[in-house]
Each structure stands twice: as structure tokens, then as C-alpha cells.
């Protein structure tokens, strides 16, 4: 497992915690500061900047993954409902198509959100290292 993948998993773990982004970044900052050298941090940040989506659709998925996936959940649910109530086997195609699409959109959005919070954390670490300690 590469350093980038490991850090993304750490960021995904932080996303499961119910707290503000600032708290998530603070916890991630401590973990990254202990386990990753500054040179590796710069490499990871460069790789993250390359991989982040720059188009409209990627940013939409990152910020509104649940909204984008909602129509596919609806298509899957209605297909299931009509397939059961009307006893039409053809209607079961809608859940077979809609539900996997919705799940993949949710996974992709979750991963993009974790990458974004990791990128913010690395930028904060870099910014703090440039400033002298002002206590």
C-alpha cells in the first residue's frame, strides 16, 4: 500500500467521525506529522493535486454526492416496487442498474471528500511549517 493510499484511508476514517472539518484536519495533522516526513508530504500533496478532478462533474460529485445519487436510488426503488407489485420481471432491471450506479457515485464522492480533507490538512501543515511559532 502506497503512502498516498494509506493517508487517504486515514482521511476516510476521519470522515466517519461527526465533527467539524477543522477538528478532522487537526486530528489528521497530528497523525500525518508523526508518520510522514516533510519530503513525503510534498510528494503526496503533488500526487493529490494531480488526481483531484478539475471538471464540473467531479466537483459536483465531491460536494453533492448524495444529491447526485438520489435519482438513481429512486429509480432502483421504483423498479423494485413495480417489479414486486405488478409481477413484472422486466421491472427488476431498474434496481439492477440504478442501485450499483448510486453506490458507485456515493463511493466516489466519499473518496473525493477524503482526498480534499487530506489536501487541506497537508496545506495547513505546510503553512504552519513556513510560519515561525507565534506564542
Boundaries of domain holding 67? 3-130
85 located within any domain: yes
135 located within any domain: no
pLDDT lower than 50: segments of the chain: none
Q: CB-based contacts of 39: which residues, under 8 Å, 6+ apart?
A: none
98 located within any domain: yes
What was the pLDDT predicted at 21? 87
What was the pLDDT predicted at 135? 52
112 located within any domain: yes
Indicate the number of domains in the chain: 1
96 located within any domain: yes
Amino acid at each position: 500500500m502506497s503512502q498516498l493510499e494509506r493517508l487517504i484511508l486515514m482521511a476516510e476514517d476521519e470522515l466517519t467521525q461527526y465533527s467539524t472539518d477543522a477538528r478532522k484536519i487537526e486530528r489528521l495533522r497530528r497523525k500525518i506529522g508523526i508518520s510522514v516526513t516533510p519530503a513525503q508530504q510534498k510528494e503526496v500533496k503533488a500526487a493529490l493535486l494531480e488526481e483531484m478532478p478539475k471538471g464540473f462533474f467531479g466537483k459536483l460529485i465531491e460536494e453533492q454526492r448524495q444529491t447526485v445519487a438520489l435519482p438513481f436510488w429512486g429509480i432502483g426503488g421504483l423498479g423494485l416496487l413495480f417489479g414486486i407489485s405488478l409481477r413484472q420481471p422486466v421491472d427488476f432491471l431498474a434496481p439492477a442498474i440504478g442501485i450499483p450506479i448510486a453506490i458507485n457515485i456515493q463511493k466516489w464522492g466519499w473518496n473525493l471528500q477524503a482526498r480534499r480533507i487530506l489536501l487541506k490538512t497537508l496545506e495547513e501543515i505546510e503553512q504552519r511549517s513556513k510560519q515561525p511559532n507565534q506564542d
